Structure 1
């Protein structure tokens, strides 16, 4: 079987994936590539193929042992037990374990109304915009949008949702930044730094969970401890991995949504102007940011549960397949003019949050964060500009995430 050579970590691909996606579709609906850590893996290039994998319950599974494999793709012998423990969560479970865990997490999540949280999200946006202005005053108007806003703001929101003590959030910011150093898996120092961040967060959450068992606090950690569905509760490891998943999924993905979203708005100034002239467009606008940018480029690995023919290819039991969400979201068979950035696109059935039983639980929260953040950012700083040229922007060279390393912006003063 031929292994096709597509570099999904190159600066050219991250800057503009559309030419590569077109070339991949020309190769076929499903074919093999080689990925760092995982090795040989089948990928899908169409919306239809992605949905078939993501919605399947008998052809594809997420637990390797249900496909005759001994270990999860990407987990290596040298990885510490702390990382392996938090890697086992509801996203890596098939039925019936997935349904049991999902029900428990959903029962806790539903207690946290996102609509009721919107005023607090707005307060947190304003708090971090104040910080953005303070940094700009120090640095001649130029700040790093990621470090000074896009990373700390969603971390504060997820901290609020989980019920993390306010005084610990700066530590979390530091550890979360360390954890993102997995961006270059070919650099051993980056891997060690990332693992240290995971270990720090892991140890802290274990202690916090123990404290909240004795002294419950408002937020999802206590809600998860108390959650019960059909006579089940989360055990110690399941509780830790669920909190870690909510922290990671509720933070890092939003960082990229905001950062690459800002970049794409400046790449399309007329679309940006139309949105800032009419904030009622926010719902469709954020959906288009999600579809067009697809900052979560792929799903987690799935495994063929049995030998099967799949869009003209023969997959053997246990082989790894990863639907490319980005390719699905740019499939011309599903979207009119998919390579155009259109903030009025409606309907917009993107799969940026996945689909099927593993669909992202926090999609409504991410949507609310992006809607509120962009409206208040551009209302306060309507003359905001990106402070470097497009070709100077450095992209994170990691498969699965479309992310920018730094994004200097110039505020150019506030509105009155």
Structure 2
């Protein structure tokens, strides 16, 4: 008589508060406790429930690079609950949920290939003079607002948000007369940090969708210089992006590219103000800017976790038995503070090299706009601190608050004066 092997027991679910101000202000102690639990832990998250979370650098890297066993589409992994979460969206807005970050092979390879062809036409180094001019224009408006508000001005609202949005308008090649309304709609979307906020933003999203469809038609008849036209013209083996795929790509640029960059700029300013000696060293020698921005990306880790992956089949990963359809999340912030990869990870070191952080992810879904985001952050910091060398907080440091949104280390406001 044979005895079946008992099914392996899942590890107990652990709880860490990843939304509290204490965690957002100083995440390093909590991240260390998470890694101490193991490279892959079972953790309970608000709304989502129990999920697997990769905590170490190696586990995060392995998870993100293994697109054969871990996929983006929950339906293909048999997870019907996760697959149905987006069904509440109006049908007219469904295209924005089909961008390439949630596509698997071979669809992802097709979309990424077409988008890469368009991006190659947008040389970031050649764009730098224009990026600097846009930063200066945003700083002019910041100075005007500060003159009307001697008690202080919100750097996030008046500079960190409008500057990357101006870059996106420039990148897409939108007509100058359309940029104010586009910026207004897009800004509303980027402020939607909760489910309620998203619901309030739906009218603006609908207007933005209508505008983009009309602009695609206009640029079909009269092409402009810019990424939107390049995306429309990108072709590989006779294949092109559909209109819905174009819309999804623009929204990805707005939500992933714009939000990440604006919070990286604002968060970097706060970190540098928290480290005045390193700020003085940077402003005395801007040749440090490239390595400084890489370190600020690692240290802040605005995107603390990735979008979920799903196990394609029953498998073993990092010594744990994973069932088909189970959700796995990579904790980028924990990977970026793993002492096995980074010496003294809880200390800011603007000279840190090498600095192979995973702030932009890894594998086939790594951020396509990483170089542009680094350039925007570098330019924003250099122009800001050069123009306002006496920049300081306008409120006590204890009053600075981060958003409660899980998975993102973004500021609510950054009041400054000079």
Give the TM-score range, shorter chain.
over 0.9
- More moved, 300-309 vs 253-262: 300-309
Distance 1:301 1:197, change over 3 A: farther
Q: C-alpha separation between the residues in 2 aligned to 1:203 and 1:325?
A: 35
Corresponding residue for residue 5 of structure 1: 15
Structure 1 equivalent of residue 366 of structure 2: 359
Correspondence for 1:244: 251
**Distance (Å, rounded) in 1 between the aligned partners of 2:268 and 2:83:** 30
1:26-83 deviations in whole A, cap 9, x for unaligned?
2221122233443332111100000111100222111223312346468244233344
TM-score (norm 1): 0.94
SS at 2:88 equivalent: coil
Among 266, 274, 287, the alignment partner of 2:273 is 266
Distance 1:71 1:212 in 2: 39
Inter-partner Cα distance in structure 1 for 2:44 and 2:346 = 26
Q: Matched residues in 2 for 1:344 and 1:92: separation?
A: 35
Q: Does 1:120 align with 2:127?
A: no
User: Among residues 325, 330, 338, which one is paired with 1:318 in the alignment?
Assistant: 325
Q: Given the superposition, is the C-alpha separation of residues 267 and 82 from structure 1 closer, same or farther in structure 2, using an over 3 Å criterion? A: farther
Determine if contact 1:184/1:396 at 8 Å carries over to the other structure. Answer: no
Mean Cα deviation higher: 309-318 or 25-34 = 25-34
SS of match in other structure, 1:33:
strand
Alignment partner of 1:275 is 2:282: yes
- The corresponding residue for 1:25 is 35
Distance, in Å, in 1 between the alignment partners of 2:253 and 2:81 is 23
Shift of 1:85: 1.9
Q: How does 1:285-364 map to 2 (within 5 A)?
A: 285-364=292-371
- Secondary structure of 1:182's partner? coil
- The structure having more radius of gyration, on CA atoms, is 2
Distance 2:72 2:365 in 1: 10
RMSD (CA atoms): 1.6
Q: Which runs of 5+ in 1 are unaligned?
A: 412-416
**Secondary structure at the residue paired with 1:209?**
helix
Alpha-carbon separation, structure 2, partners of 1:136 and 1:74? 46
Query: Could you tell me which residue of structure 2 aligns to residue 368 of structure 1?
Result: 375
Q: TM-score, normalised by structure 2?
A: 0.94
SS at match of 1:250: helix
CA distance in 2, matches of 1:236, 1:376: 37
Q: Secondary structure at the match of 1:155?
A: helix
Pairing 1:10-409 to 2, within 5 Å after superposition: 10-70=20-80, 72=82, 75-140=85-150, 142-185=152-195, 188=196, 190-409=197-416
Out of 96-105 and 242-251, give the one that drifted further: 242-251
Q: Mean alpha-carbon deviation: is it higher for 348-357 or for 311-320? A: 311-320
The size of the alignment, in residue pairs, is 408
Is 1:179–1:193's contact at 8 Å kept on the other side of the alignment? no
Measure, in 2, the Cα distance between the counterparts of 1:402 and 1:84: 27
